Structure 1
Amino acid sequence: MAAIPFQVEKYAAISAVVRACALTMSVFNRLVKSETVTKDDKSPVTVADYSAQAVVNTILAHAFPNDPIVGEEDASDLRKPEGALLRERIVELANEALTGIVADKENVNWGLGKARSSHELLDAIDRGNYAGGPVGRMWALDPIDGTKGFLRGEQYAVCLALIVDSIVQVGVIGCPNLHVDVSKPDGERGTMFVAVRGQGAQQLSLSSPYGDGIPLRISSHSPLSSIRFLESVEAAHSAHGFNARVAAVLGTSQSPNRMDSQAKYCVLSRGVEGDVYLRMPVPGMGYQEKIWDHASGALLIQEAGGIVSDSLGRPLNFGSGRTLGENFGVVATSIDIHPKIIHAIRQVQDEEKIGKF
């Protein structure tokens, strides 16, 4: 019987994300609640970022030693003498996650069960320094996507994707604070979203991350007047005003659903909590989207029957390096609504050019 493509990669990614989610939740409960934090002062969110990346990269290095990783963090500051206290915290947390007992698919070990040295974990973090490119296999990792959501105890995500020759083949997103049942927003929290190209997309719970899960299908029947936009909480991350003008062109009066991280892709894939994820650059910021912020989510939407492009309707290019440098903006929605969103974006852009706004 022929092997199912990318099954080993899928289960390794699930194992890594489950442990990283448990680690980040532990950091929040033990450190964030008791400390005044900002990302600039080596705070608990920084500890969580580094230690989660160490855990994920350690598992990937064992399972796929030849695969490079494009990650958000590097360990240069941790190697300095003044980084000793932060380094000790990270090593402790990472080893807790690597040695803790967590059920794995068919009891595959992934090199777990033993503590790593500080040197080994710093080297694991630095495996994320790969520059990316159009050819070969590579993993894209965001150990904590949605920093401010994490600090607020709201939405954030651990995101991991396998990219082969510029095409995302596996995407796994863990959302520790996202409710499992859409109809029970006060019920169980902790979700896992898994997509493999050509094999569909599923939602599972973080407490039971293996199995078939719930098949996902993006909504494709909303009239334009009732569609709801998904967008970032922070106005600095996406142009809220532009989104509002696009919504007005479409004739929708629904308030946007704002949340941090790739959790937006996740709720879009469930087809209930939003119909369009629109992320347009804030003028003057010069920001380029990072591939780790969209790789997993883009595949999730595609496998749920939707489409993801930039604001010009072009596919996202995950083979141009660490950023989506060739793309402008991100649009994710159902196939039937997508061309109408692109048309509305162009209309608003044309109106901006003639000074209507």
Structure 2
Amino acid sequence: MSYDKELSVALQACLQAARLCERVRSTIPEAIEKVDRSPVTLADFGSQALICHRIHNEFPDDPIVAEENPKELVKPERADSLKQIVNYVKEENNDVDEKKIVEWIEYGNGHVGQRFWTLDPIDGTKGFIRRDQYAIALALIVDGDVKVGVLACPAYGNDGGLMFYAVRGKGAYSQSIKSFGTTIPTRIYVVTNDNINNFRFAESVESSHGDQAKQNEIARRIGIQTSPIRMDSQVKYGLVACGQAALYIRFPNPHNLNYRENIWDHAAGAIIVEEAGGKVTDMNGKILNFRDNEKMLDNRGIIVSNGIIHEQILEALKD
């Protein structure tokens, strides 16, 4: 199966969402506090509404498993926020009102199945709020295998951001968001230089998202001497895919060892790195399980590499 239509729809949906997110961010929005106390902005909801609406229109039988739930928006105290979201979304789709916004966001409350999409409307919300890196991450999963992945990274690079994307078996590509559709996509590859002294590794900005001491120790043990590149979101997958880093590691935080990763935080990035020639597993060398649950219950930690150093990382962890 070619998945050409799925890729085209996903790219256009993520481009719309990227434009909306940047408009919202230019106003320095205040965060809405979710039940779990993590920040979420008007852009998260607007992005999810646009993408879910487009995916549902084109593929009405495909469930969408997304991060946000509109129950936060239907509270009376959120009435003004809902109106603001409608206004932002209208700049991309004029046929919308408050009822439709809630309905479109609810399309993302689907369940994992044989074929489904998974979406993080803003991955790296804290980075978004502080005007740093974030990503809009969308992936199509069929029989547990990611077939299409798109990362819209509006703050990455110096020219209006980059889109990273891949289809299984067809390679990975990047293209400027600003000039998307008018320029030729660039085929991207992981770094293959065998001089490990030139390798960089990436990790999350938030120390609570991993075990930075252990991550730095493992990188040092395999010979990486440079300081880590710290970034929010799945932009780190893009770094590995385009050769700007050889490694991204995310080990469980020692204060929260029972934590399990969400599929929407890794599915899109994983296929892009793999199609660029890299490798993605958990810290035990197991492939990431996108088949059974929105949480990757069978996996612990994440290792994303150029492939060349992957076994070295796993061996260092055994010690």
Q: Same fold (TM over 0.5)?
A: yes
Residue of structure 1 equivalent to 2:216: 244
Alignment of 1:215-234 (within 5 A): 215-234=187-206
Relative distance call for 1:138 and 1:212 in structure 2 (3 A) is farther
Look up the equivalent residue of 2:252 and give its one-letter code: P
Matched, 1:280 2:251: yes
Tell me if structure 2 keeps the 8 A contact 1:220–1:337: no
Residue of structure 2 equivalent to 1:94: 89
Q: TM-score, normalised by structure 2?
A: 0.94
Relative distance call for 1:254 and 1:24 in structure 2 (3 A) is same
Matched, 1:7 2:27: no
Question: Matched residues in 2 for 1:84 and 1:43: separation?
Answer: 20
Alignment of 1:1-357 (within 5 A): 5-32=2-29, 37=31, 39-40=33-34, 45-99=40-94, 115-133=95-113, 136-179=114-157, 187-210=158-181, 212-271=184-243, 273-285=244-256, 286-347=258-319
Q: Which one is further off, 83-92 or 58-67? A: 83-92
Relative distance call for 1:345 and 1:226 in structure 2 (3 A) is farther
Tell me if structure 2 keeps the 8 A contact 1:320–1:326: no
Tell me if structure 1 keeps the 8 A contact 2:63–2:117: yes
Look up the equivalent residue of 2:219 and give its one-letter code: A
Look up the equivalent residue of 2:101 and give its one-letter code: L
Question: Matched residues in 2 for 1:174 and 1:7: separation?
Answer: 18
Tell me if structure 1 keeps the 8 A contact 2:116–2:140: yes
Report the count of equivalent residues.
316
Tell me if structure 1 keeps the 8 A contact 2:159–2:178: no
Cα drift, residue 207 of structure 1: 1.9
Tell me if structure 1 keeps the 8 A contact 2:73–2:79: yes
Cα drift, residue 154 of structure 1: 1.0
Question: Matched residues in 1 for 2:161 and 2:98: separation?
Answer: 30
Relative distance call for 1:161 and 1:255 in structure 2 (3 A) is same
Tell me if structure 1 keeps the 8 A contact 2:63–2:111: no
- Aligned-pair Cα RMSD in Å: 1.9
Tell me if structure 1 keeps the 8 A contact 2:34–2:72: no
Question: Matched residues in 2 for 1:12 and 1:223: separation?
Answer: 40
Question: Matched residues in 1 for 2:265 and 2:194: separation?
Answer: 27
Identity across the alignment (%): 39
Cα drift, residue 324 of structure 1: 1.1
What per-residue deviation string (whole Å, max 9, x for no partner) do you get for residues 234-290 of structure 1?
10011100111102211321100110000000111111x211010111013232110
Moved over 6 A (4+): 41-44
Tell me if structure 2 keeps the 8 A contact 1:291–1:322: yes
Q: TM-score, normalised by structure 1?
A: 0.84
Tell me if structure 1 keeps the 8 A contact 2:34–2:40: no
Question: Matched residues in 1 for 2:272 and 2:295: separation?
Answer: 19
Question: Matched residues in 2 for 1:43 and 1:5: separation?
Answer: 38
Tell me if structure 2 keeps the 8 A contact 1:311–1:342: yes
Question: Matched residues in 1 for 2:218 and 2:13: separation?
Answer: 38
Tell me if structure 2 keeps the 8 A contact 1:50–1:125: yes
SS at 2:78's partner residue?
helix
SS at 1:98's partner residue?
coil
Look up the equivalent residue of 2:4 and give its one-letter code: Q
Relative distance call for 1:7 and 1:212 in structure 2 (3 A) is farther
Question: Matched residues in 1 for 2:259 and 2:284: separation?
Answer: 17
